[in-house]
Amino acid sequence: MTTVTTRFAPSPTGYLHIGGARTALFNWLFARKNSGTFILRVEDTDEERSTQEMTQAIIDAMDWLGLDYDQGPFFQSQRKDLYLSYIDKLIQTGNAYYCSCTPDEVEAMREAARQKGLKPKYDGKCRELGKVPGPDTVIRLKAPLNGQTAFHDQVKGPISFDNQELDDFVLQRKDGTPTYNLAVVVDDIEMGVTHILRGDDHINNTPKQILLYRALKTVPPLFGHVPMILGPDKKKLSKRHGALSVMAYKKMGFLPEAMVNYLVRLGWSFKDEEIFSRDELINKFSLENLGSSASVFDTNKLTWLNSHYIKEADIARLSGILTEHLEDELIPDDPGYLEKIIPLLQPRAGTMHEMAEMAAFFLIEDERLVYDEKAVDKFLSPEARTHLSEIASRLEHIDSFDQKSLEQEFGEYIREKEIKFKVIAQPLRVAITGRTASPGLFETMEVLGKNRVLCRLKQVNG
C-alpha cells in the first residue's frame, strides 16, 4: 500500500498568512491521520523577491503552530539541475520543443485570438519547426490539441478542462530557469507526493501539471482544492479583516492551539463540534469533511476560542507567555508571583496581551499606579476616603491576609457601620487597582499582599 505523502510548499516572498497556514495544517493533518509523511518545500525560485528572512519567518510560524515536518525544508533554488534534466527528457521524447517567438509576437497571437472570441494563448507557431537552442529561445510543452484533461478533485468533485483552451506553456525561460509548473511537478514526483491539498486559486495550474505528469509517464497525485477565506463582509480576506501573518497573532496574544483549532474549522467540520485537541483533530480529520464553499474569518470567534484555551492552559506555561507581553519594567524577579496572578485573570482574558494589560496593576510599583480619573471622581468621595482610611487602620492589625480572613474582616466592618458592601467595594477597587474592573477584591488583595494594599489605601488619602 502506498504511503500517504503530503507537502506544504510556500514561497518566501512574504510572511506565512492565514490561508497558507490553513493549507499547511490540512496537509499536516492528512499525513498524520494516515501515518504518512509531511514535507516542507520552500519554492524560492523568485530570486528577486525571496529572502532568507521570509524563509525563517515561515519556518518559525510552522514551529509555533506545531506543524512538524518529516522531510525538508527543501529549497527549489538548490535543485535547478534536477529540473533541467527533466526538461531534457521532455525534449528527447518529443513532448517539448524550442520556441523563438518574442514576447511581443506571443502577445499579438493572444490579441488575435481575443478578437475572434477565442481563448488568448500561444498559437503553436514553433511547435513543428524543429528549432534549436539559442540565446532567445524558451522551451514549451507540446500539449494535446484536442480532448480533455480531467481529474476528480478531493474537495470539489469532478473537474475537466478542454485541451483546446490550454496552450503550449513555457517550461524553461530564455534565461535557462525552469518555470513554476515544471519545478512543482518534478519535486512532487521526486518526493513521492501522493496528495496535494491547496487553495482553489491553483485550480488553473492543475491541468497543466497533469499534462506534465502524463508527458513524463507518471501517475499524478490526487488533488484537492479548498475554497478561499473571506472577510466578514464576504469579500476576499485582507488586512482590514485580520489577514495578518501568523506570527502577528502570536504577538497579539493568541495561543497556538487556539489558532490551529480555529484554522481547521475554516473549511472543515466534524458534526457540530467546535473545540478539538490536537489528537482529536488527527483522529477525526478526513478529506470528506472538507467544505466546498468559502469560509468567513471571524476575529471574535478566534478570540472566543483563545479564551477557552487560556482557561484550560497550564499556569506555569502561561507565566512564560505572559512575560512576552509585559513591559520589561513590569516583569517580576519572582516568576512565582505571576503564577499567583494568572488564575485570577484566566477567566477574564481573551488574549495574553489582554491579560498583560489586566495584570499591570499587580506589577507596577505602588507609587506609579495610574488611576482612572473618572473613576476617582465618581467613587473616591470624601465619605469613601474616610471609609478607606478606617479600613486601612483595621487591616494593619490583622495577622492573616488571605481571602477568608479579609472576607471576615470586611463583613464585621460593614455590620458595624450598618452599610452595604457596595458602598465600599468600588472605592476600594479604585484605590488598590486604579480602575473599576478587576478580579474579585479579596483575591486581588491577597495576591497584592498586606503591605502593598495598605500603601495604596494610604496613597489615595494623600
Give the residue numbers annotated as catalytic, written as ranges: 239
CA distance 281 to 285: 6
Read off the C-alpha cell for 75.
529549497
- Among 358, 378, 393, CA closest to 430: 378
Question: How far is C-alpha 333 from the geometric centre of its chain's CA atoms?
Answer: 32
Q: What is the DSSP string of 203-234?
A: GGGHHHHHHHHHHTT-PPPEEEEEPPEE-TTS
Helix (H) or strand (E) holding 98: strand 96-99
Helix (H) or strand (E) holding 186: helix 180-190
288 to 74, 152, 154, 225, 285: CA distances (angstroms): 30, 13, 8, 12, 9
Residue for grid cell 499579438: 108
76 to 44, 235, 447: CA distances (angstroms): 6, 33, 55
